[in-house]
Amino acid sequence: MDTIFGTGIHKGSLNNRALNKKLEKLGRKLINSPHLKLKSNAGGLQAHAPDLEHPVLLEFLKIATVSIQDLVRHYHINEDYSFAFQDLWFNLNRKGDYNMQHSHGNTDFSAAYYIKCAPGSGDLVFSNPNQTRFLLNLSSCFNFKEANAINSNTYVLNPKPMDLCIFPAELQHYVTRNNNNEDRLSLSFNVKITPIYDKPY
């Protein structure tokens, strides 16, 4: 787990090439389905999975569950909880495509899994929610020896194939332009956490 801007995110690799190939095949099939194809922010394409019970998605979500539980554990939640996958969609960014800054509402955690991403095909960038005028003035006057959680307005993630990143859904983020000739294919999903209360006597 990493800490950025005072909040925790999960970064890791699933390192499952066989599953990654199956996800790429499914993602391209859905994106090429006319009734599922949706325009994304700036040129990209999206396709929401109509059935989370698809065997390939079930295999993926079973593995992703371990990463979600690991991240939630670092928040030291006292109560028992359950969680549910609310939505899942594939994203395809061709050369020149990018995604403008946004966040995900009505959910707790969001995630991005990178099926195919060549160097230069787009970084995932998080914006500092604690950005202050002091920090803006400081960064306009000085160069920092290195970026850290105190002096940075953004946190940049350079994804590699099979990387999984899970983060608080309200954290503003965007994807930089794909400057590579190869497509960039990713899978995103949202997760809702719900406390489990004891049954009344």
Mean pLDDT calculated for residue range 3-18: 90
Range of the domain at 14: 2-195
* Count: domains in the chain: 1
Whose tokens are 């922010």? That residue is: 41
Position 23 in a domain: yes
59: three-class secondary structure by DSSP:
helix
- 124: Cβ contacts below 8 Å, ≥ 6 apart: 112, 156, 157, 159, 165, 173, 175
Query: In CATH, what number is assigned to the domain containing residue 164?
Result: 2.60.120.620
In this prediction, residue 128 carries a pLDDT of 86
Position 200 in a domain: no
Mean pLDDT calculated for residue range 101-108: 93
Is 172:62 a contact under the CB 8 Å cutoff? no
pLDDT tens digits, 34-54: 777 676 678 889 999 988 999
The reported pTM is 0.89
In this prediction, residue 41 carries a pLDDT of 74
